Amino acid sequence: MFGDQARVIASITIRATMGRKRALLFAIPPLILVLVTVLLKLAHPHDPSWPSQIVGIFGFTVVLPLTALIIGTSVVGAEVDEGSIVHLLATPVPRSVVIWSKYVVAAVLTAAFAAVPELLAGLIATGGLTKLTVGLFAGALAGSVMYNAVFVMISVLTTRAIAYGLAYVVVWEGLVGNFVSGARLLSVGQYSLGVANAIAHDGTALNASLSLGTSAVMGAIVTAAAIVIAVRALSAFSLKGDAI
Amino acid sequence: MTADNGAATAGAAPVTGPAAGTGVIHDLGYQHYDGPRLGRAAIIRALYWHSLRSAFGIGRGAKAKIVPILAFGLMCLPAIANAVAVATSSGHARIVDYDTYTYPLRTLVMLIFVAAQAPELVSRDLRSHVLPLYYSRPLRRHDYPLAKYTAFTVACLLLVEIPLIILYLGTIISVSGGSAVWGQTRALIPGLGVAALWAVLLAAIGLVLASFTGRRAYATGLIAIYFFLTWILAKLLVGIAQNGAAPGPGGLVAGVPLGARLPGLISPFTVVDGVRQWLGGTNPGPIPNPGSAGVAYGLMFVLLLGVSLGGLAARYRKVGAS
Amino acid sequence: MRNVSRWYGNVVAVNDITVTIGPGVTGLLGPNGAGKSTLMHMIAGFLAPSRGELTVGGTPSWRNPGIYRTLGLVPERDSVYAFLTGAEFVTASARLHKLPDPGAAARRAIEMVEMTGAQDRKISTYSKGMRQRIRVAGSLVHDPEVLLLDEPFNGMDPRQRLHMMDLLHGLGEQGRTILFSSHILEEVERVSGTIQVMVAGRLAASGDFRAIRRLMTTRPHVFLVRTSDDRGLGATLIGRPAVTGVELTDHGLSVRASDYGTFSREIAVLTRDQGIRLRELLPEDESLESVFAYLIDTDGPRAR
């Protein structure tokens, strides 16, 4: 699994992702999260559910998916866009290794840039390692794993991955998920919240509607399916000709 | 005016080769144009029209029209639904107000429209490096962003005002009596004004953010993330402040605490709503009435607008080859 | 490949091509938009034919990553990881090919393209020609039997171009199959003897370009003749049926001959009989450029 080919791909991917201007972009949402948490902590709001709302809802509806989006689309998307992915693909490296290496890099980076700030914000907001803090951290880790699978898959399937990913996060998870309860079954955000809630037991404040079982199963299915689709799509990767 | 390129003078006979030491300009048949030329205003107008068309995907393929058409359709839905409701209940029930106009839907649609289309106007030119070409024409530095901003504002205006007009007409049809019509009209005017504030501000922010990058996907991401993040955060902060407010007698909230009146400042969508309420709008919106802090909303509106337009002007003051 | 076609909706990019490309250097020639890149991408396994079969060394290249053990591709697009150094890039390529000694293989490849001096600089500092060369190194590192290069001379200065031509020539001599595409005739002319000409998606001609030229007897050949008595020879020649035109120019006698074979036999006899000394006889248009132009001007496939 971590053979030399995977290591080469992973190291190139990390350097490519961190070296671009985009590194700034995915550092901003988590920064805002921590900042807002600190400010609120200092302001002592009366509402006892504020940690769940800020670290939980804001973190899981905005910070986590958007950070995962930027990272997940750039591990594959940027190279496809530039054309440099050909250098990876014109080798006998199995396509599954390519996807797997990039996916792992994306998940780890998202964990570092979204899940760790979640932990930090949770510690600040609740004052310690409460159930909420631990739950949110676990949920964020799960979210990093699941979201990136979806976004890597979208990046392989289309060049307009960011647009479709945004439509998924903002429209599907944000809007539709609030009004159509069935849609929540197909929402990675809800899976993550389900995991978080299983530990934190703060369902109403977190707006989590799925049980741990449902979240885990659906999450696993979605993740696995996304990876498989991504590998198949990459095996049929096509370079367009010159005049077309 | 610009210099003529491809100039031909009264040409000597071509292609016999120059005599030793002299040169010959060949008459290649380029047409020399000496007639009237349209001036700067015409260029700006052309740029404006072209940008307006791009905002709606006109003149491009079918794919470019999907988002504008979808956005427009969604925006009009409440107006149509309202017309139906009013018609079937003989002028009584009204779902939608002019000045708030199904606020969540309008927010979402404008978010998507601006995030998707602002890059079409601005990032494309950056990517294909055509700015030096534009600027080598008789065009002053500010004309380009001016044309773009005007065009995009008009596009957003169309998107927000036309549904209001539809709402108005749909209601007028079903009510009877001059006073009812007049009442509707009186409600419409401020609604149009609020919508105009939306268009003016969002267009500016969208364009300046999009002008940061030539890649449309990144620009869309940047704009969408900014709008989405600030909006959710504002709503949550307002909710927290209101939830935590000490209840007065009978369980009602005594007053709106300051903590609930200020978070609206961080998101352009709520800033516009704050201005609306400050200027006297009474219909409930996404944020509570700012009360004494209303001035802050007005100031914030001006600030956001000014920074965006200033940023846009600064961005296009110098154009290099990229 | 056999009956290979590729279309995009209504546009046919490659139209029913059947050809076998063997060892040595083959040039794929054609104007822009002729479908050269499309064909190369199909050979390289980066595009599926809409119809027909295409194999490299007996196995199809589509959806077959294993084929890259013996195949190398240098695509036209100048895309490469700009933040890596040249050496890092080629070594990474070597490692991806699971070579037993990636460092040594990389060094060899870099030497072959004469980039040893610049290998430790970041690729973002390279000129276009240097980037081209390092990409070639990356595709050579695993010693492929088949090498595909799409417009490899783009952006190279004359010295680099000559060097690349020598390199390709040498590789071809080693028995590898080198296929490169170009729309610039002198490049193809100098490096390869065998050409495949593509026009509007069809294969217009294959083989040695001189032979192709000779097969096209419908077109007149033009020769430049320098003799001791141009005018006199000209007068005689115009009376011959194999000659369709004669022109006196500053450089000599320009003769248009409709029948190459007959003309070349006759000129010797004529000059001897008339006592004219023949100093120089040059084909004026036997360059790839005229071959190309003739093929483009006419429709349909020509001699195969």
Mean pLDDT over C25-32 rounds to: 83
Rounded Cα gap, residues C162 and C172, in angstroms: 15
Question: Please, which pLDDT band fits residue B115 given cuts at 50, 70 and 90?
Answer: very high
Q: How confident is the model at residue C297 (pLDDT cuts 50, 70, 90)?
A: low
The residue ranges of every structural domain in chain C are 2-208, 216-285
What pLDDT digit, counting tens, does each position of C141-159 carry?
998 989 999 888 877 888 8
Q: Which residues of C touch chain A, with CB atoms under 8 Å apart?
A: 6, 8, 11, 13, 32-33, 35-38, 41, 44, 46-48, 63, 65-69, 71-73, 75-77, 79-81, 83-84, 89, 92-93, 95-98, 135, 138-139, 142
Domain boundaries, chain A: 4-235
Do A and C make contact via 3 or more CB pairs under 8 A? The reply is: yes
Residue A148 has pLDDT above 90, yes or no: yes
Give percent of chain B with pLDDT exceeding 90.
19
Asked whether residue B139 carries a pLDDT value surpassing 70, the answer given is yes
**pLDDT classification of B177: cutoffs 50, 70, 90:** confident
Q: Verify B-A touch: 3 or more CB pairs within 8 A.
A: yes
B230, B268 in Cβ contact below 8 A? yes
User: Residue A102: its pLDDT value, please?
Assistant: 93
> Is pLDDT above 60 for A242?
no
Count A/C contacts: CB-CB distance under 8 Å.
Answer: 101
DSSP assignment string, B123-161: HHHHHTT-HHHHHTSS--TTHHHHHHHHHHHHHHHHHHH
3-state secondary structure A162-229: HHHHHHHHHHHHHHHHHHCHHHHHHCHHHHHHHHHHHHHCCHHHHCCCCCHHHHHHHHHHHHHHHHHH
Q: How much is the average pLDDT of A85-105?
A: 90
The DSSP line for chain C is: -EEEEEEETTEEEEEEE-----SEEEEEE--TTSSHHHHHHHHTTSS--SEEE-EETTEE-TT-GGGGGSEEEE-SS----TTSBHHHHHHHHHHHTT-SSHHHHHHHHHHHTT-GGGTTSBGGGS-HHHHHHHHHHHHHTT--SEEEEESTTTT--HHHHHHHHHHHHHHHHTT-EEEEEES-HHHHHHH-SEEEEEETTEEEEEEEHHHHHHH-TTSPEEEEEEES-HHHHHHHHHTSTTEEEEEEETTEEEEEES-HHHHHHHHHHHHHHHTPPEEEEEESS-SHHHHHHHHHHS-S----
C-chain CB neighbours of A239 within 8 Å are 41, 46-47, 75
Average pLDDT, integer, range C38-48 = 88
- Chains adjacent to B (≥3 CB pairs closer than 8 angstroms): A
pLDDT tens, position by position, B301-314: 999 999 999 998 88
Say what the pLDDT of residue C77 is.
Answer: 84
More confident: A116 or C22: A116
Q: What is the model's pLDDT at position C197?
A: 81
CB atoms within 10 A of CB C32: 10
Nearest to C47 among A82, A94, A239 (CB): A239
B6 pLDDT more than 60: no
Tell me what the mean pLDDT of segment B234-262 comes to: 66
When pLDDT is cut at 50, 70 and 90, the band that residue B254 belongs to is: very low
A-B CB pairs within 8 A amount to 82
pLDDT score at B265? 87
Q: What is the mean pLDDT of residues C258-265?
A: 77
Confidence of residue A231 (pLDDT cuts 50, 70, 90): very high
**Each residue's pLDDT tens digit, B187-198:** 888 888 889 999
What CATH number matches the domain at C216-285, 3.10.180.10, 3.30.70.920, 3.40.630.10, 3.40.50.300?
3.30.70.920
Q: Which percentage of chain B shows pLDDT scores above 70?
A: 86
Out of A149-163, C217-231, C290-304, least confident range: C290-304
Q: What's the pLDDT at C165? A: 86
- Over range C221-244, report the average pLDDT: 84
**pLDDT of residue A46 exceeding 90:** no
- Which pLDDT score is estimated for C265? 82
The per-residue pLDDT for A110 is 92
Q: What is the pLDDT of residue B156?
A: 93
Domain C2-208 coded CATH 3.40.50.300: yes
- pLDDT reading at C210 higher than 90: no
What does the pLDDT read at residue B303?
Answer: 93
Q: Quick one: closest CA in A to B117, which residue?
A: A163
Testing the interface with A: which of C81, C88, C98, C136 to mutate, by most A Cβ within 10 A?
Answer: C81
Residues of B with CB under 8 A from a CB of A: 104, 108, 111-112, 115-116, 215, 217-218, 220-222, 224-225, 228-229, 232-233, 236-237, 239-241, 243-246, 259
Q: If we measure between CA atoms, which residue out of C27, C302, C61, C249 comes closest to residue C150?
A: C27
Q: Is the pLDDT of residue B279 over 90?
A: no
Q: Which of A5, A82, A244 sits opposite C98 (nearest CB)?
A: A5
The mean pLDDT of chain C is: 82
Q: ipTM beyond 0.90?
A: no
Average pLDDT over residues A195-200: 82
* Residue C211 pLDDT greater than 50, yes or no: yes
How far apart are the CA of A237 and the nearest CA of chain C, in angstroms?
6
Q: Which residue of C has its CA nearest to A80?
A: C79
Interface with A, mutate which of C79, C96, C135 (most A CBs under 10 A): C96
Q: How far is A160 from chain B (nearest CA, A)?
A: 7
Contact present, A87 and C95 (Cβ < 8 Å): no
Q: Does residue B17 surpass a pLDDT of 60? A: no
Give me the pLDDT at residue A2, please. 62
| Interval C15-41 mean pLDDT | 84
* Mean pLDDT of the region A201-223: 80
Question: What is the pLDDT, as a whole number, of residue C213?
Answer: 60
Q: What is the pLDDT of residue A27?
A: 85
**pLDDT at residue number B5:** 40
Where residue B9 falls among pLDDT bands split at 50, 70, 90?
Answer: very low
Q: Please check the confidence at residue C33 and state whether its pLDDT lies above 80.
A: no
Q: What number is the average pLDDT over the span A101-114?
A: 93
Distance from CA of B259 to the nearest CA of A (A): 9
Q: Helix, strand, or coil here: B15?
A: coil
- Closest-CA residue in chain A for B218? A162
- Residues B85-114 have a mean pLDDT of 79
Q: How do residues C96-149 score in pLDDT, each as one tens digit?
A: 988 888 889 999 999 888 888 888 888 888 888 888 889 999 999 998 989 999
